[in-house]
Amino acid sequence: MPDDNLFSLPAKPFFSCDEDGFAVVDGAAMRNAGNIGSIEPMLLLRVGPNNLFEHRPRRVTDQDGQTVTVECDGGVTVVLDFAELTARLRRPDGEFLYMGGLDEGNAGLGFMAAR
């Protein structure tokens, strides 16, 4: 059972998108420049086959409360719901639900059609 506090977004989240994955860091921890090298992400989702992120994340396009929308390569959008600990993937051929929770985003569990 995941620790709900671990996956709740902080008051000031910082999102990082790179070719290897997507990270969420508590922005408040970044205030002290001396700590920047030792800051650990609260959530790190790696790009990989059947992972929550199968395509490189490019940028966060929206944040509405505990829901974060991430634009990825290949016309793919990933919607992370930190309140429900779930994720949806939108791509040209439809909308899909990740088969695990956010805490299992690197487990390669794959997707099922949402409709």
Is residue 70 a contact partner of residue 17, using CB atoms and an 8 Å limit? yes
25 or 108, which is more confident: 108
In the prediction, which pLDDT does 38 show? 65
CA dist., res. 74 & res. 3, Å (int):
33
Answer whether residue 36 shows pLDDT above 80.
no
Q: In the structure encoding, which two tokens stand for residue 111, read together?
A: 């997707």
pLDDT tens profile 77-92: 999 999 999 999 999 9
pLDDT at 34: 58
Residues with Cβ within 8 Å of residue 5, at least 6 apart in sequence = none
Domains of the chain: which residue ranges? 4-113
- The whole-angstrom separation of Cα 71 and Cα 36 is 26
Share above pLDDT 90 across residues of the chain, in percent, rounded to a whole number: 71
Just give the CATH number of 4-113: 2.40.128
Strands 13-18 and 94-98 come out as unpaired
> Does 71 have pLDDT greater than 80?
yes
